[in-house]
Amino acid sequence: MRIGVIGYGLRATLLEHCPPGSVVAAHDPRPERVPPGVAACGSVAELLGHRLDAVFVLSPDHLHAEHATAVLEAGAAAYVEKPLALTAEDADRVLDTARRTGARLYVGHNMRHMPVVLAMRALIADGAVGAVRAVWCRHFVGHGGDFYFKDWHAERAKSGGLLLQKGAHDIDVIHWLAGGYTRRVTAMGALTVYGGLGDRGGTGYLAGHDIDAYLANWPPSAHTGLNPVVDVEDLSMATLALDNGVFATYAQCHYTPDYWRNYTVIGDAGRLENLGDGPGAEVRVWNRRHRSHGTPDHVVRVGGAEGGHGGADAAIVAEFLDHVRTGAPTLTSPVAAREAVATAVAATESVRAGGALVHVRGADEGIIAHFSLDRGSSGRAVGG
């Protein structure tokens, strides 16, 4: 397999999981980032001239739709880092291009391969909480100031907003656990901390992803080197009504002292909740009535694997390449990725309209049918 890359940035770590020697060409505006032995191409067109079987689209979010459609039009399979696009219309354009050309499309929602998410989904499918009625997610983005406010992520024009850029992951998981897609949303939020910081130099991520340096960078008011433009929200809360009657909430804060996600799934016969989201995390289940919080009736201890996101990065690359080779079914879904974009965009619109109710338009039935036939998961049914 001959593999190309558009955007040799932080997510290029995914390429470590490709077969040795398979990555043959890359396009990045900073050609010095392209490693020896990989052809550094001056344009996407030049890259696509290398007779590629698959291309990883790892460019900034506002370029995803443009680059994905170019790859698909060339007949190569496209791995597109999430979010699929900045608007539902652009996401639809990418999906329609895949349907028209017959080229395979895969979207990098790697959380579907995270052990803690897989554990929660398996418990739900086994009936551990009965029929799902509500899903709540709190996302404590402790490194938000370092990761999202010192480069292009801080600009609405390039990221859309962090309910989309960061929240697309969690919205996709909420949909997956609930077995439905959002159709109504209302949300509130604001730029509550980082907008008041005046040191703007655009320093970007700390060199080497130095976790100790991130941890020492406290309190949030101590941040320096923010992006010259900072106009995305650092605190957001959304309430979602899904098409199957499930209700959900998603809350995101970019200046908490801790960094993890907490999901609560409430059914008509119990409740489950994760404590931690990496190796060593637990998923706790309550099935009986208790005084106060009570001891869980069942605990699943979650393992992990080598590599990013508890082994999810390695798993998602393997799944993509297998799908390209054989058309094998996938845990991820282009349709679900599009629904995550549509929901996040609607939530962001609601925030910026003072909490107005926004309706979310679903994907075209022809698109849904195409990706079902292509053996990509529709993402809807909990047991599907």
Torsion angles phi and psi, residue 342, rounded to 5: -60, -40
User: In this predicted structure, what is the pLDDT of residue 383?
Assistant: 34
93-127 per-position pLDDT tens digit: 999 999 999 999 999 999 999 999 999 999 999 99
More confident residue, 9 or 299: 299
pLDDT (mean) for 303-328: 87
Q: Tabulate helix, strand, coil % of the chain (nearest 5).
A: 40, 25, 40
* pLDDT tier at 196, thresholds 50, 70, 90: very high
179-194 per-position pLDDT tens digit: 999 999 999 999 999 9
76-96 per-position pLDDT tens digit: 999 999 999 999 999 999 999
In the chain, the domains with their CATH numbers are 112-311 (3.30.360.10)
Torsion angles phi and psi, residue 156, rounded to 5: -55, -40
Would you give the DSSP letter of residue 330?
B
Name residues whose C-beta falls within 8 Å of residue 58's C-beta, 6 or more positions apart in sequence: 5, 6, 7, 8, 9, 11, 12, 14, 81
Mean pLDDT, rounded, of the chain: 93
Is the CB of residue 237 less than 8 Å from the CB of residue 250? yes
**pLDDT tops 60 at residue 208:** no
Percent of the chain with pLDDT over 70: 95
**pLDDT tops 90 at residue 10:** no
24-74 per-position pLDDT tens digit: 999 999 999 999 999 999 999 999 999 999 999 999 999 999 999 999 999
Percent of the chain with pLDDT over 90: 86
CB atoms within 10 A of CB 45: 11
In the three-class reduction of DSSP (H, G, I as helix; E, B as strand; rest coil), residue 164 is classed as: helix
**pLDDT tops 60 at residue 384:** no
pTM of the model: 0.95
